[in-house]
Structure formats: C-alpha cells, structure tokens
Copies of this chain bind each other. A is one copy, B any other.
Amino acid sequence: MEEVRNQQVIFKDYVNGFPKESDMSLTTSATVPLQLPQGSNGVLLKNLYLSCDPYMRGRMTKTEGSYVASFTPGSPITGYGVAKVVESGHSSLKKGDLVWGFTGWQEYSIITAPETLFKIQHTDVPLSYYTGILGMPGMTAYYGFYEIGAPKKGEYVFVSAASGAVGQLVGQFAKLTGCYVVGTAGTKEKVELLKTKFGFDEAFNYKEEPNLDATLKRYFPEGIDIYFENVGGKMLEAVLLNMRVNGRISVCGMISQYNLNQEEGVRNLSSIIMKRLLVKGFIVTDHYNLYPKYIEMVIPLIKEGKICYIEDVVEGLESAPKALVGIFSGKNVGKQVVVVARE
C-alpha cells in the first residue's frame, strides 16, 4: 500500500473585509495510507486543478441560511476542482476516471458523496477547462445569458467583470447570438483582451470612468437590453438608468460588495417599474440538469475555434492562497486556476 503525505490549504478563521493570504495556512499531514477506509462507498481523489471563484468569499464569513455552507476553521478550503479517481467504492466511478466537482484544497481528498461529481467524458480539451468553461463558470454563463437573458439577435448586451471566468464567455455567447456587446473590466490589459481576443464590440476600464451613467450612455445610445451582472453597487446603479424597456438583468454576482461589512445602497430601482425590467438572481447549482445540453453546445465551439477561454494558471498548492485572494482585487486575468498536479 502506497503511503503519502497530504499537503493542504487550511482555512484559519472567519474573515472580515478583504481576505488575506494569512487567512489560510499550508500544512502537510503525517504519512497516511493512500486508500479508502474499509467499506467506504466514497471515492479517493488525486486533485489536479483547483478553481478560485468569487462565491468563495461568502464561505469565509460565518453565515447561517446561506446557499452554501461556511468554510470550517481549521479544515481545508473546499471548492470546485478537477481530479483523478485513485480508488472507488462507488459503482458509478472507477480507478483512473477523471471527474470535476466539489473537492478539497489538498493533494488527496475522500469524497463521501461521489454522486455530486461529474465524470469527464471529453478529454481532448484541456482538463483545466473543467474548472472554467466546461465546469461551473461555463454553466453559469450559459444559464444566466441564455435562460435568463433570453437574448435575441441585434440586442444590446452589457457585461461587467467581463474578462473573468464567466464574463468572457457571456461576451462570446452574445456575439454568437448576433448581439452588440460591451464589457467592462478593471485594467487596460483586460480591456484590450475583451476587444482583441473575445470579440467584444467595445470595452472600457470602469476605474477610468468618473461618471458611469455618462459612459454607458456613450456606449449604449439606444440603451441596454441585457445586463449580465457580476459586480453590483455603483455599476448596477448606473446600468438601471440605461436599461431599455423590457430589459433583463441576469444577476450572477456582486463581487464589489462581498468584502464590505455593509452593502452599498443602490439607487434608481424605480427604473425596474418604468422599464418593466426583469431582475433575476440564480445559483447555477440549481440548473446542473442542463449541463449535458450545454456540453453538447460548447464542445464543438471549442474544437472549431469559435470560442476561446483564457486562464490565469498558478502552479502548486502553495500558490493557492495568493491566487484566491487575488481575484477579489482583480489580479487574475481570466479564469483563476491552481495546478496541484498535471496527472
């Protein structure tokens, strides 16, 4: 029986304000046998790629009744990842299978409910994509844009956090639908990416715009039909003034608010009435039944080069805390991935 040490990223304690690297620590367990406990019907995973996602900030706060449990102080961070099955006590998976789903920030994890994992069927694409375009963020962009946004050709689409794991896909889906799409991001480099790499019609750096209402009026003289909301706060306030009648706001995230002790107030909500807006929040895990349909759509698009995906990849579990903290100040360019092992 092989024995291993299991390196882990431990969540130290609940966080106030912006998370810091020091809110996590790296530990290595004593040597443990690389096997499932006797009689387990779980699976033992070797983790390959881990995903850094904005929703994880919510898990760093002690909350009750949230849609996802808080992290447990003293235990490893948990989140989405790609992994290889080392040993399986469950009929749906066998040794050597590749999966994506909820796992731990460590080299090896035992998953006691393997039915929550997705077995990876397509391996002729980068495996790390299953933390992004082929995983939770991909499904998020798909559901939020197509199912809530209900886009029609020629409509005007605005995407915030547009170069992120979700936003870059929303923009490309919008172009494939024949929409006019403008994105916003927080650096010059990202703005360039939006225009040159992802095919957004226009893009701007919100940090350089003193009057977001005026900026939006410049980019959308006819107004916005679909706003894909990733940031909340002042951007939402300005967007509300620029929505068109019967517009849709697909509310995916509000990252600008996650590190505040109290949310900012948002004005201009009366636009919801005047413009008959639909504002719809969603949690993608409610809609995983659509995953096969999404994969069927997106795999050919990737293979034919009709859609691209940019990742910001760091190597090693020891780089994970910095990578996770970085997404809350927009340090990542594209989907933030941590490589634990490549196979």
Q: Taking beta carbons and an 8 Å cutoff, which residues of A are in contact with B?
A: 58, 66-67, 232, 236-237, 245, 251-254, 257, 262-283, 286
Pairwise interchain contact B278-A66, C-beta atoms closer than 8 A: no
Most chain B CB within 10 A, of A245, A267, A273, A277, is at A273
A267 to B260, CA, bound (A): 12
What separation, in Å, do the CA atoms of A221 and B23 have in the docked complex? Answer: 35
- The number of times this chain is found in the oligomer is 2
State the CA gap A251–B67 with chains docked (Å): 25
Across the interface, A276 reaches (CB within 8 A) one of B58, B236, B286, namely B286
Inter-chain contacts of A274 with B (CB < 8 A) = 58, 66-67, 281, 283
The interface residues of chain B lying within 8 Å CB-to-CB of A280 are 272, 276-279
Residues of chain B with a CB closer than 8 A to A58's CB: 274
Closest to A223 in B: B65
Expressed in whole angstroms, the minimum distance between the Cβ of A195 and any Cβ of chain B is: 28
Residue of B nearest to A245 (CB): B67
9 new A-B contacts at CB < 8 Å, known A67-B275, A251-B269: A236-B269, A254-B270, A265-B265, A265-B266, A266-B266, A266-B267, A274-B281, A274-B283, A279-B280
What are 10 contact pairs spanning A and B, CB under 8 A?
A: A67-B245, A232-B269, A232-B270, A252-B273, A253-B273, A266-B266, A273-B283, A274-B283, A276-B282, A278-B278
Query: Who on chain B is nearest to A253 by CB?
Result: B273
Q: Are B268 and A263 in contact, CB atoms less than 8 angstroms apart? A: yes
Residues of B within 8 A of A251 (CB): 269, 272-273
A272 contacts which chain B residues (CB < 8 A)?
251, 279-281
**Closest chain B residue, CB of each to CB of A254:** B270
A265 touches B267 (CB 8 A): yes
Nearest residue, chain B, Cβ from A252: B273
Residues of B within 8 A of A265 (CB): 237, 264-267
- A281 proximity list for chain B (CB < 8 A): 271-277
How far is A286 from B276 in the complex, measured between Cα atoms in Å? Answer: 9
Q: Which residues of chain B come closer than 8 Å to A273, judged between CB atoms?
A: 251-254, 281-283
> Which residues on the B side are within 8 Å of A267 (C-beta)?
262-266
Within the complex, what minimum Cβ distance (angstroms) separates A70 from chain B? Answer: 13
Q: Which residue of B lies closest to A270 (CB)?
A: B254
Evaluate contact between A269 and B263: CB separation under 8 angstroms: yes
Q: Tell me whether A270 and B263 are in contact (CB under 8 A).
A: yes
A328 to chain B, nearest CB (A): 15
